[in-house]
């Protein structure tokens, strides 16, 4: 089986896909990752094959990549919503169609904020899955840009986003992370991330006493460096 992974060009978005990609390779399947050209070294550093697709940009350099981005404030979030669910997704489709023409993937796997793989798979009638660090329950206004992209590509409307997770949604997180007022897609499977191997992780981790709880605390992947002093 050939599996085409798609990701936005951000470390925190891509790295949760890596265990899934390596597991597929270990099972004998072929794996390729489509991403922004400048992000290919990050993908290749994990041992995976990368092909360029979509706009050439990096999430940690968002304002440099998109100088017209509104400053932080009320206008910023609608702009980001359109960036994720229209601008970058729509730009991925032509390149993904070209890759699919050459490589003939049997399955698309996207991370939670990459929608070009979903749109391309829908066009080709190929199954698609969502995997990674998170899934996003979307409100109707958030789906408007994505539905506009569907319309431009000749796909039928999907104003409620039912097609996003219709095949499979892999969530490597505890079910309790879902808020009480949210509902996971019916295709969701909660998966425990693989435990670190010997020598993996920060120095000294392997020497910690066994049987004691280990808590991992993070402020995210880009906000601390992008807005110094915020925390």
Rounded Cα distance, 202 and 190, in Å: 26
How far apart, in whole angstroms, are the C-alpha atoms of residue 72 and residue 58? 18
What phi-psi label fits residue 173: left (phi over 0), alpha (psi between -120 and 50 degrees) or beta?
beta
| 33-69 exposure pattern, b = at least 16 Cβ within 10 A, e = fewer | bbbbbebbebbeeeebebbebbbebbbbebeebbeee
CA angle 209, 210, 214 (to 5 degrees): 85
Number of residues in the chain: 231
What CATH number is associated with residue 34? 3.40.50.2000
Q: Over its length of 231 residues, how does the chain's per-residue pLDDT go in tens digits?
A: 999 999 999 998 999 999 999 999 999 999 999 999 999 999 999 999 999 999 999 998 888 899 999 988 888 889 999 999 999 999 999 999 999 999 999 999 999 999 999 999 999 999 999 998 666 678 889 999 999 999 999 999 999 999 999 999 999 888 888 888 888 889 999 998 766 555 566 777 777 787 888 887 776 655 544 555 555
Residue 210, in any domain of the structure: no
Instruction: Determine the structural domain holding residue 123 and report its residue range.
Output: 2-202
Domain presence at residue 219: no
Whether residue 221 is contained in a domain is answered as: no
Q: Is residue 179 situated within a structural domain? A: yes
Q: What is the pLDDT of residue 204?
A: 75
Domain assignment of residue 153, yes or no: yes
- Token code pair at residue 129: 């899955």
What's residue 60's pLDDT?
A: 86
H-helix segments, the chain: 11-14, 18-26, 40-44, 62-65, 76-82, 88-103, 116-124, 140-152, 223-226
What residues are paired with 31 via a beta bridge? 3
pTM, to two decimals: 0.88
Q: How many domains does the chain have?
A: 1
Cβ atoms of 40 and 57 closer than 8 Å: no
Q: Rounded distance, CA 71 to CA 83, Å? A: 14
Domain contains 39: yes
Tokens of 44: 């290749």
The predicted pLDDT at position 224 comes to 47
The answer to whether position 216 is within a domain reads no
Task: With respect to residue 224, please indicate whether it lies within any of the assigned structural domains.
Answer: no
């Amino acid at each position: 089986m050939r599996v085409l992974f798609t990701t936005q060009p951000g470390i925190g978005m891509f790295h949760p896909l890596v265990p899934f990609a390596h597991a597929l390779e270990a099972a004998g399947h072929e794996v390729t990752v489509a991403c922004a050209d400048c992000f290919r070294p990050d993908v290749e550093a994990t041992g995976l094959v990368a092909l360029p697709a979509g706009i050439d940009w990096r999430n940690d350099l968002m304002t440099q990549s998109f100088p017209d981005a509104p400053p932080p404030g009320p206008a910023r979030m609608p702009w980001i919503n359109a960036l994720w669910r229209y601008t970058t997704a729509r730009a991925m489709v032509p390149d993904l169609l070209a890759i699919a023409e050459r490589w003939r993937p049997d399955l698309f796997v996207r991370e939670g904020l990459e929608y070009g793989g979903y749109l391309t798979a829908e066009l080709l009638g190929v199954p698609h899955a969502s995997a990674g660090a998170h899934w996003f329950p979307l409100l109707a206004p958030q789906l408007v840009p994505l539905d506009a992209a569907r319309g431009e590509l000749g796909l039928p409307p999907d104003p409620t986003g039912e097609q996003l997770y219709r095949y499979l949604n892999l969530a490597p997180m505890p079910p309790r992370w879902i808020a009480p007022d949210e509902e996971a897609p019916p295709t969701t499977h909660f998966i425990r991330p693989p435990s670190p191997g010997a020598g993996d992780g920060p120095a000294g981790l392997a020497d910690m006493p066994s049987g004691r709880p280990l808590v991992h605390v993070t402020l995210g992947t880009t906000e601390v460096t992008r807005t110094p002093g915020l925390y």
